[in-house]
Structure 1
């Protein structure tokens, strides 16, 4: 299972070759990857990267999949100007980064309803956002650790937590940490149904609550 000493208990996995459908956009002091939905639904989703950074093609692919289902997506560089995740990362800047992203989605993308999805470290970020920002209407935390705190259950809106068998919390049979976005769908016939099921659940959750 992931923990603070070992926040991502797997290697980088299958790094896919993927160019992306979106574009990089500078938002105030934050670099982002934005994919506009072809449908004007007024819905947007923040996609938070794992420890391998905002330029990881697997994360951008997942953002584009979500955008293809009617949600403008944005992948912010929450590790601003730094290497991928470090325990010394300054968490105090995170709220102002989230605020900047929300302003952009509302003012520039005309988002009326906003959700958030995060992988690994990003799943931790989702949990924090969902206990802090009532304007974010739905969250999906994918194999992010649940940190013990007084407000750990004080979720403002519906939040889906997805884990794998090796995470030992909410098992999904035979799958390991990182399987939703760091395994290729064609890696083995046995893996494909699990990957497709969880990706479908993720989209259905967003569709239902935002």
Structure 2
């Protein structure tokens, strides 16, 4: 764990994992209501294994330190209370501080689940220096559809989620066509954590594949397309134009 200082001078900890070699960029992983628990640390480590600096801020530190909750009734109850107590403004400020702490690694993506999914969605418009945002079954996202997203945003919803009715997801898609929103028919809330009772391996893998593609596209950027005749165009300014041969691939023949 490392220590960071928010804009209001309050201190908070963060779990950081670094990749081997030069990083491709950075991923800020936003905790759920259960704190920086083993599942969140595992998710953070997985992004580091893919070549990104990965970091998870402890967003409950303002009200309670070292929170790691289970997924039982007691954990849900305590997590709900902490979410209400800490609010959203300070966590978003802490996310901004976290983004600033890793931006030297390259472009920065934000990924979150549950409460963290909502904060990731909100960060797209309220946190600067973010290349893209990804949210999993974010509580409150479907009600927050009025503003157009400022950065590319990807969302994952479970179709069997009692806390986010699928009819609301359908309406959200209609209201926010600028957001890429995928749904998973057999999955429920919490499908992304293998420590959760609702873990759904197939949905989690599909969502991860889409998430990694999204991050590679907006954090790393698209690799250059290698065209057969790219060399002749690239050297056009430095070499004399050569006589065209019959087998040159410079486009379709004239009609």
What TM bracket, shorter-length normalisation?
0.7 to 0.9
Question: Equivalent residue for 2:28?
Answer: 46
Question: Equivalent residue for 1:92?
Answer: 89
User: Matches of 2:43 and 2:89 in 1, distance apart?
Assistant: 27
Secondary structure in 2 aligned to 1:127?
Answer: helix
Cα pair 1:131 1:152 within 8 Å, conserved: no
Q: Which runs of 5+ in 2 are unaligned?
A: 6-10, 68-78, 170-181, 220-255
Q: Which has the higher contact order (CA 8 A, sep 6+)?
A: 1
Cα pair 1:133 1:156 within 8 Å, conserved: no
Whose Rg is larger? Answer: 2
Question: Equivalent residue for 1:162?
Answer: 156
Secondary structure in 1 aligned to 2:204?
Answer: helix
User: Matches of 1:172 and 1:147 in 2, distance apart?
Assistant: 16
Q: Displacement, 1:148?
A: 3.4
Q: Displacement, 1:78?
A: 1.0
Give the aligned CA root-mean-square deviation in angstroms: 2.3
Question: Equivalent residue for 2:192?
Answer: 180
Could you tell me the TM-score, scaled by structure 1's length?
0.76
Q: Displacement, 1:126?
A: 0.6
Cα pair 1:27 1:101 within 8 Å, conserved: yes
Select 1:142's aligned residue among 127, 136, 152. 136
Cα pair 1:134 1:157 within 8 Å, conserved: no
Q: Which runs of 5+ in 1 are unaligned?
A: 1-23
Q: Deviations along 1:93-151, whole A, 9 cap, x unmatched?
A: 23431232123113xxx2220010000000110111001235200111000031535x7
Question: Equivalent residue for 1:20?
Answer: none
Q: Deviations along 1:22-72, whole A, 9 cap, x unmatched?
A: xx1111211110000113135101000111001x10111111111111111
Residues 1:195 and 2:204 aligned together: yes
Could you tell me the TM-score, scaled by structure 2's length?
0.63
The equivalences for 1:7-22 within 5 A come to none
Q: Give the helix-richer structure, 1 or 2.
A: 2
